[in-house]
Amino acid sequence: MQKEENTGERPLHQEEIRPKALKGMPVLLLNIALMLAAVAVLIWGIRTVTTPEKTTAGIILIVAGSLYLFIIGPVVFVGLKVLKPNEALVLTLFGKYYGTLRGEGFFFVNPFVSAVNPVVASAAALNLPAAPGKEKAKAAVPDKRISLKAITLNNEKQKINDQLGNPIIIGIVVIWRVVNTVKAVFNVDNYMEFLSIQCDSALRNIVRNYPYDTPGDNSETSLRGSSQEVAEKLKDEIQKKVDMAGLEILEARITHLAYAPEIAAAMLQRQQASAIIDARQMIVEGAVGMVEMALAKLNENDIVKLDEERKAAMVSNLLVVLCGNRDVQPVVNSGSLY
């Protein structure tokens, strides 16, 4: 095992320790039985102390019964801990890391250890709810258990400039969980707040490298057209930033993407113009193909002979009919062809 150099800085905690723990139910039943026995000893001592020759023995019995009934018994109850699935308790003993209690069940640990959860402590200091749906932290019993479940973080939308300098409004949702409780508790002040700030920072770093959209069939990566690729890079960027806090990023997705209100109208006009151009291009390509097919059919079946001037006139009329955006009013010529 390598020795840490004394650089004057406190080293970061890295690995979890399994604390010494017993099954809680046997300890609970034993402690209740001993407290009942202490009550009997206390009563016996009170009766004995009234006898002159047994006064000293009575005092000893009273002290022993009172000691266990009012001090030792309640202290033992403090060491009983209950954990639900996907929960953990980070325990400290007189300020020193004692271990992380994991796994569902009923446990008994050293009664003098205390659980640490910086999220609850910060919420209580700011008079904020410790969790959604709960009362204010200072008014409720603080829950020091750390959830190991997948949690959703949905930060507020941000205004960021894309690669082209256009201001856009973007929002993301991040699904994460705690995988190393020691890092989460001791390496950062508040791991939830730390994650929120790192998500905002990573989002800005990623968005400024891509344009909002690319015109036409351009294969360049964009925020709107390459959402999967951007989401993967965003996930990797956030993961690098929160490794020191013992967090794992399961998924990161863009939930809102739009131009900022000050340029939204102009960008909408540009998108409409681009769509109109693309549609017109498709119409013209189709119309030219239909004209070529019509001329080929006329020549193939020898229906009518057209000189170059008449072919040009026919092509012009067909293109007007096919490319026009209004219904055509036909004019019937009842005379000769020429």
- Among 59-63, 98-102, 250-254, 321-325, the range scoring the smallest mean pLDDT is 321-325
Model pLDDT, residue 278 = 72
Beta-bridged to residue 91, according to DSSP, are 99, 115
Query: Do 108 and 127 have their domain in common?
Result: no
Tens of pLDDT along 264-297?
A: 666 676 666 667 677 777 777 777 787 777 777 7
Taking residues 14-37, what's their average pLDDT? Answer: 91
**Pick the residue with more confidence: 127 or 235?**
235
DSSP reduced 3-state for 174: strand
With respect to residue 229, please indicate whether it lies within any of the assigned structural domains.
yes
Please tell me the predicted confidence (pLDDT) of residue 48.
Answer: 82
What is the distance between the alpha carbons of residues 77 and 111, in angstroms, rounded to a whole number?
8
- Does residue 191 share a domain with residue 101? no
pLDDT above 80 (res 254): yes
Q: Where are the alpha helices (DSSP H) in the chain?
A: 24-49, 55-67, 73-78, 118-125, 181-186, 191-207, 227-242, 261-301, 308-323
Domain identity same for 161 and 219 = yes
**Do 157 and 224 fall within a single domain?**
yes
User: Is there a single domain that holds both residue 126 and residue 188?
Assistant: no
User: Between 237 and 312, whose confidence is greater?
Assistant: 237
* Whether the predicted model's global pTM rises above the 0.75 cut: no
Measured between alpha carbons, how far is residue 52 from residues 27, 98, 271 in Å?
38, 50, 104
Residue 120 CB neighbours (<10 A): 20
Write out the residue range of the structural domain in which residue 138 sits.
117-146
* Residue partners of 332: CB distance under 8 A and separation at least 6: none
Please give the DSSP secondary-structure letter assigned to residue 129. Answer: B
Of 232, 259, 286, the one marking the end of a domain is 259
Residue 14 belongs to some domain of the structure: no
CATH number of the domain within which 233 lies: 3.30.479.30
296 within some domain: yes
Quote the pLDDT of residue 292.
77
Which stretch of 122-126, 160-164, 242-246, 265-269 has the lowest confidence by average pLDDT? 122-126
Q: What is the mean pLDDT of residues 35-58?
A: 84
Domain count, the chain: 4
Residue 285: inside a domain: yes
Answer yes or no: do 153 and 141 share one domain. no
Look at residue 4 and tell me if it is in a domain: no
Residues 6 or more apart whose CB falls under 8 angstroms from that of 129 comprise 123, 135, 136, 137
Confidence of residue 13 (pLDDT cuts 50, 70, 90): low
Same domain, 176 and 251: yes
* Average pLDDT, integer, range 193-211: 90
Phi and psi torsions of 107, nearest 5°: -125, 160
Considering the domain architecture, whether residues 142 and 194 belong to the same structural domain is answered as no
* The two three-digit tokens of residue 75, written as one number: 């202290």
Which of 113, 130, 162 is the endpoint of a domain?
113
Q: Is 248 exposed, middle or buried (0-12, 13-18, 19+ CB in 10 A)?
A: middle
335: in domain: no
Mean pLDDT across the stretch 10-18? 71
CA pair distance 107, 20, nearest whole angstrom: 10
Beta strands in 94-220 (DSSP E): 96-102, 105-108, 114-115, 146-147, 151-154, 158-161, 167-178
Position 240 scores a pLDDT of 93
Question: Does residue 305 fall inside a structural domain?
Answer: yes
Q: Are residues 182 and 245 in the same domain?
A: yes
**Quick one: 171 and 108 in the same domain?**
no
Cα atoms found within 13 Å of the Cα of residue 242, Cβ hemisphere only: 34
Note whether 74 and 163 are same-domain residues: no
Residue where a domain terminates, one of 226, 259, 292: 259
Q: Are residues 280 and 310 in the same domain?
A: yes
- Structure confidence at residue 110 (pLDDT): 92
Task: Tell me, yes or no, whether 336 lies in a domain.
Answer: no
> Which tokens belong to 332?
């019937």
Tens of pLDDT, residue by residue over 120-158, are 766 555 454 554 444 443 433 457 899 999 999 998 888
> Are the C-beta atoms of residues 258 and 187 closer than 8 Å to each other?
no
